[in-house]
Each structure stands twice: as structure tokens, then as C-alpha cells.
Chain A
């Protein structure tokens, strides 16, 4: 009796909480309703079959997956160092890693241009020695998107590593496993759920990236125009196409986020 009652109390939170939660949900749902109301449902298939849409979709997939891969290769070691190694100025390093979450993406894009552009501090050397030019190229999109999205991976994985019980790794080491083996066979499997959720968050942020991309990589269909850029440009010239593209983004994001939520995203 008591248990059933207490269970019911826990299941049914106080009315103010429910009301505020509903208002919180409305923040996300209301814009979506606006988008659905404006959608050119009749012409959707025609609009979506256009070259611009197909190109933008392809570029968005390439750049978001590419940025997620780069983030995994560079971000996991960075998270490991931040979680496990004590060194002076660590809080500054952590601040630097989190900076892209705070500064406007447009500023990030401009900073990338000043650093890696043809006349940039590093870009000029790169261009003159190798002929490599990041702005206005698909690689430039990957760089811009990685800059904005990688912090999500680093903070998620760092948090998981810090919460990991060190005794498992210590046990493995005491049984003769090398540091590399411990990391590969014990550490990484144990943080796998967090790593997966970090990767999903990183990918999602990468898919929606606009400001840094348009500022650093420019806007050219087929080369640098990702879905968000096509939507922005479309709003100025062809609103139906812009709204249709937005729906595509919403659909992709929802399908992936909901599907992954059940499979390997339980850690969040």
C-alpha cells in the first residue's frame, strides 16, 4: 500500500513541474509547428528533387560525418589528457576547448579565415608550400564544422573518464596489461556509451552548423553549400525550397536521434 502510494507520487510530479515542463517543451515544438504550417506539401517532391537539395544533402552528410570522425581521432585523446593528466594551466586548456560553445560561430569562422585563409597566419605558409587552400573547399567546411562541434565530444568523454572507477584499470595493469592494452580493452569499452552519445551530439551539432561554415568556407552549391547554407540562401530567393530543406533536416535529425536513443544513447 505504502509502496504503491509512494510510487504513484514519484510517477506523478507536482502540477507546477508539469506545467513548466510543458512550457519547456513548447519552446522546441512551437517553431516546428510554424515550419510545418509553411511547408509546401503539394510541391515537396518536386522541390526536393532539385540539384541544390541533393548537393546540399550530400555535402552535409560528408561534412558532418567527416567532422565527427576527426573529432573522434583528435577529441578522445584530448579528453583523456584532460581527465587523467595533471599539468599547470589545465583549466586554461579546458577553457580553450570549450570556447567554440560560447563564441558566435561567425566569429569562429572569421578567426579560422584569419588563421588558415590564403593570407592567414598559417594559411599563407600552407598555401605557398603546398598549394592547399582551405577556404571555399569542402575540406574547409569540415574544418569549420569540426571547430564548432568537437567540444561536445571532448566534454562528454572527459566526463565519462573522470567518473570511471580507476580500480578496473589498475586491476588490468596489475595483471600485466600494457597501458595501450588497458586503454583499448578496459577504458574505451567502459566509456563506450558516453563515447557514442558524444559522437551523436557532435554529429548533430555538425549537421546544423551555419555561421562558421559560411564565414570560413563560403557558399557554393556542390562544394561548400551545406543544408543550413542552402536554407539561408533559399529564404532570400525561394522560400518554398528553404522550408522544404528545413523539413529534410528536421526529419534526418529526428530519425537519427530517436533511433540512436534506443540503441546506444542511453548514457544521456
Chain B
């Protein structure tokens, strides 16, 4: 049913585009959280091959940076955030065309370099002065969530760096420059075996909901709706699951 809707909508869009502008492509600007980098790259490929003539442009950054861009009037069609509070601010500012829909969920995990040089086993190791510990910065969804998890576990972390987004943290873990960090399960999946992961107790209580919405001032509202439907479709959800996101 959903798929039928999508194809009807896409058909209409392509027809309209074809009539109005000949071979000119229509563009959909998507602002997506950094943790969606790989999933949305695949999303873009699959969507574009299913919708010839539609060009999806994905702008990736920390959710908070994207929020600031949107609040400052960036011409965005679709916004996919990595937590609800960021989205709420955009909605409160009257910038969303409708109520946001949660399209993916992500769980926290401890990540360590290959071989686990710091012999990290649990959240309590994050208090160890002798280890190089990295988190996402405060204000970045993965940083806020990780701090909540540490606080709930009664751990005061001995932080050596607060990285500005989750992918920067992941890079330092892959390079073995820090001993442990807290990232999303999807980031571990994205690292493709370049880091090891450790589940921690209570992690299921710290799950980030990823909301998506079409912007009120979307330059291309039809393309935006079509892309959002695609993300929520069976194909879109399968792509997200393959990249480690939860339903």
C-alpha cells in the first residue's frame, strides 16, 4: 500500500517535473544527522535510481548544527534528526510542515579500538584516569545520551576529549588514539569491523529516537514528501536495519 502510494506520488512528481521543466531534475535537500551518514547515502542511491530525474542532496552534520541552519532559514526540504529535543525546537519554531515521525531508533554501545588496548569491559572503566576516554560533546545527541547513561551507572568519566560529532569520535577510535568511547550501535556497524563493541547493562534504557519531518518552507514539498515516504517505506526501513538501526 505504502509502496503503491510512493510510486503514484513519484510518478506524479516525475510527470509534473517532465511537463514543467523538460529534462531538468528536481532536487530534494535533506538535512540528516551525522550518524545517518552511511544509511542515508544508500537511501539516496536507491531513491534516485527508483526516481530518475530527482536529485537528493544530503547535508550531513551534528543535529544541533542542522537545527541552527534551519532556524536561520536554510532552504531545507526534509530534516532527519538524531534526537527528539532537537526536532522539538524546530517544530516549536514553526518550521515543520506536520508532526514529525520517528523513523529509526539507535542504541548506545561502548566502542574500543581493535584488540581493546585499554582492556575496557564496562562503563565503570570510563572513570579510569589512565585510559584515554572520548565522548561526543554536550549538546550533541550522542554526547547527552552517553552522559545520561554514565550518570545512571554512577560513573564520573575521566574525559580526554569531547568530540564535536559522533563520526569524529569514531575516527579517533578506529585510529586507536583513544581507548574507549560511547557511540551508537549504527556507528559500530558503519566502522565495518574497524572497532570492537561492548554492550553495557541498561543500554536498552538509553535509546535515541530519530524523527523526520518535511519543512514548512520546503522549496520542493512534493519531492520532500516522496523522500520521507521512502524513508518510512519497507525498503527504507530495510536499509536502516542493515546499518544497525532498530525498528
Contact = CB atoms under 8 A, between A and B. Distances in A.
A136 B139 contact: no
B132 A136 contact: yes
Contact of B164 (A113, A119, A133, A214): A214
Nearest to A217: B161
Contact of A218 (B65, B138, B139, B161): B161
B82 to A, nearest CB: 12
Nearest to B163: A219
B212 interface: no
Given A235-B68, A237-B139, 7 more contacts: A110-B171, A114-B175, A119-B175, A233-B139, A236-B64, A236-B65, A236-B164
A238 interface: yes
Given A236-B139, A237-B139, A220 B162 contact: yes
Interface of B: 62, 64-65, 68, 132, 134, 137-140, 159-164, 168, 171-172, 175-178
A232 B132 CA distance: 23
Interface size class, chain A: 20 to 34
A205 interface: no
A100 B12 CA distance: 50
Given A219-B162, A220-B160, A235-B65, A135 B177 contact: yes
A223 B178 CA distance: 16
B176 A218 contact: no
In the A-B complex, list the 5 residue pairs whose CB atoms are closest, starting with the nearest.
Answer: A237-B139, A218-B161, A236-B64, A236-B139, A119-B176
B131 to A, nearest CB: 11
Given A136-B132, A235-B65, A235-B68, A220 B159 contact: yes
A146 B160 CA distance: 22
B137 A218 contact: no
- If over half of A's interface residues share one DSSP class (helix, strand or loop), that class is named, otherwise mixed; here it is loop
A220 B161 contact: yes
Given A218-B160, A218-B163, A219-B161, A237 B175 contact: no
A118 B164 CA distance: 21
Contacts of A235: 64-65, 68
A136 B164 contact: no
Nearest to B171: A110
B176 A118 contact: yes
Contacts of A215: 168
A233 B161 contact: no
A105 to B, nearest CB: 14
A68 interface: no
Interface of A: 110, 113-114, 117-119, 133, 135-136, 214-215, 218-221, 223-224, 232-233, 235-239
A114 B171 CA distance: 11
A113 B175 contact: yes
A224 B177 contact: no
Contacts, number: 64
Nearest to B162: A219
Contacts of B132: 118, 133, 136
Contacts of B138: 233, 237
10 contacts: A118-B132, A118-B177, A119-B175, A119-B177, A218-B160, A220-B160, A233-B162, A236-B65, A236-B140, A236-B164
Nearest to A220: B161
A81 to B, nearest CB: 34
Contacts of B176: 117-119
A119 B164 CA distance: 22
A68 B178 CA distance: 29
Given A214-B164, A218-B160, A236-B140, A117 B65 contact: no
A18 B215 CA distance: 42
Contacts of A136: 132, 160-161, 178
Contacts of B160: 136, 218, 220, 223
Contacts of B164: 214, 219, 232-233, 236
A203 to B, nearest CB: 25
Contacts of A220: 159-162
Interface core residue of A110, A136, A221 (most chain B CB under 10 Å): A136
B118 to A, nearest CB: 11
User: Which residue, of B139, B163, B164, has the highest number of chain A Cβ atoms within 10 A?
Assistant: B164
A118 B64 CA distance: 31
B198 to A, nearest CB: 20
B208 to A, nearest CB: 16
B137 A237 contact: yes
B125 to A, nearest CB: 17
Most buried by B among A117, A135, A215, A218: A218
A179 B65 CA distance: 56
Given A218-B161, A218-B163, A236 B62 contact: yes
